Amino acid sequence: MTARKRHDNEKHPEGADASGANAPFENPATTGAEVGESEGEAVSDLEALENELSEANRKWLRALADLDNYRKRVEREKARWDVEAREGILLPLLEVVDNFERALAEGAQDESGAAVPFREGVELIFKHLLDVLEKAGVRPVETDGMGFDPNVHEAVGRVPSDEHEPDEIVQVMQKGYTLGERLLRPSRVIVAS
């Protein structure tokens, strides 16, 4: 007796019709070809799900990388905006520094050659302003004993000089300043020819 017939006899022990005529609905037996087809469908469904999972994972990783790039770009832009905002405030202050330097260069002295109290007050204000600028990251561009550097100097004139090498700075007309590594204003200089 085959396994199918034995199974049917167990369901219909009293000799009921194994064809299912007297029984309620019963699934027909599947053939080997049908089993192979359903296994093939299951394998192809599994492969499709694996492909979908792989694609979703790839998209997720790409979105994660895009988010990281966006965060880095925003940080760079914020730093740039910070520097530009400070630049906008500090550039006009440098003109005040220039005026202080010119006023102090003239000097206010009495008949004995001593500095008058007004000048001393101006010097203290000037020193305080320079301290504030230094705390903000503003530094003067070096010019003493240096050759001309077009990255930080602006030549406003040339003079013949036997005492200086060619392209050496002879005189500073206006100091230049940097903000961190960024040039706020170049030094305006006269160089030897």
Q: How far is it, in rounded angstroms, from Cα 171 to Cα 188?
A: 9
Distance of CA 35 to the CA centre of its chain: 59
* One-character DSSP codes across 5-44: HHHHHHHSTT---TTSSSSS--PPPPPHHHHHHHHHHHHH
Q: How far is it, in rounded angstroms, from Cα 189 to Cα 144?
A: 11
**Rounded to 5, what percent of the chain is helix, strand, coil?**
55, 15, 30
Strands 187-192 and 169-174: antiparallel
Question: In this structure, are residues 18 and 8 in contact, taking their beta carbons and an 8 Å threshold?
Answer: yes
Class of the CATH domain delimited by 139-193: mainly beta
Q: Structure tokens of 60?
A: 């997720």
Would you state the pLDDT for residue 83?
Answer: 84
Q: Which residues pair with 187 in a beta bridge?
A: 153
Whole-prediction pTM = 0.51
Would you state the pLDDT for residue 24?
Answer: 52
Would you state the pLDDT for residue 75?
Answer: 94
Q: Where are the domains positioned within the chain?
A: 139-193
Would you state the pLDDT for residue 55?
Answer: 95
Would you state the pLDDT for residue 115?
Answer: 65
Would you state the pLDDT for residue 43?
Answer: 85
Q: How far is it, in rounded angstroms, from Cα 92 to Cα 100?
A: 13
Question: Which residue type occupies 46?
Answer: L
Q: How far is it, in rounded angstroms, from Cα 98 to Cα 118?
A: 18
Per-residue pLDDT of the chain (193 residues; tens, 9 = 90+): 454 555 455 555 554 454 545 555 555 555 555 655 677 788 888 999 999 999 999 999 999 999 999 999 999 999 888 888 888 888 888 888 888 887 777 766 667 766 677 777 788 888 888 888 888 889 999 888 788 999 999 999 999 988 888 889 999 999 999 988 889 999 999 999 8
